[in-house]
Amino acid sequence: MRLAVLSQAIRRILPAMGKQFVYMLKMSSLVCVLGLSELTRRANELSVTVYRPLETYTILLLEYLALVLVVSWLVRRPEKRMGANVPEGGC
């Protein structure tokens, strides 16, 4: 029972859990869950001291983009390996 039910449950839950994690990462400026310092606060401090907000926030944008792309890639790897396919129409 453990092997049959758990493997099927993980296969069905993995895409939704991965997408939820990526969504939380996108909507949150608090990346300290991943062990990084809070990026937005540091960018604010830097733009105030250097007086170059465009460059500072562009770098911040690229950091978040790289972080989201890496996490999305890491979430897709086990989905492909386990064959977790979600139908196109949703549930």
pLDDT digits (tens, 9 = 90+) for 36-72: 567 777 888 888 999 999 999 899 889 888 988 998 8
CA-based max dimension of the chain: 62
Is residue 9 assigned to a domain?
no
Higher pLDDT, 54 or 85: 54
Is residue 4 assigned to a domain?
no
CB-side exposure of 36: number of CA atoms within 13 Å?
15
Query: Which of 84, 91, 87 lies closest to 7 in space, CA to CA?
Result: 84
**pLDDT in the model for residue 54:** 93
> Considering its fold, how many domains does the chain have in total?
1
The CA–CA distances, whole Å, from 77 to 19, 43, 80, 84 equal 13, 32, 5, 10
**pLDDT in the model for residue 58:** 93
Is residue 2 assigned to a domain?
no
**pLDDT in the model for residue 37:** 63
Is residue 13 assigned to a domain?
no
Consecutive H or E run containing 24: helix 2-27
Is residue 29 assigned to a domain?
no
Is residue 50 assigned to a domain?
yes
Q: 77: domain range?
A: 35-83
**pLDDT in the model for residue 90:** 47
Is residue 66 assigned to a domain?
yes
Is residue 57 assigned to a domain?
yes
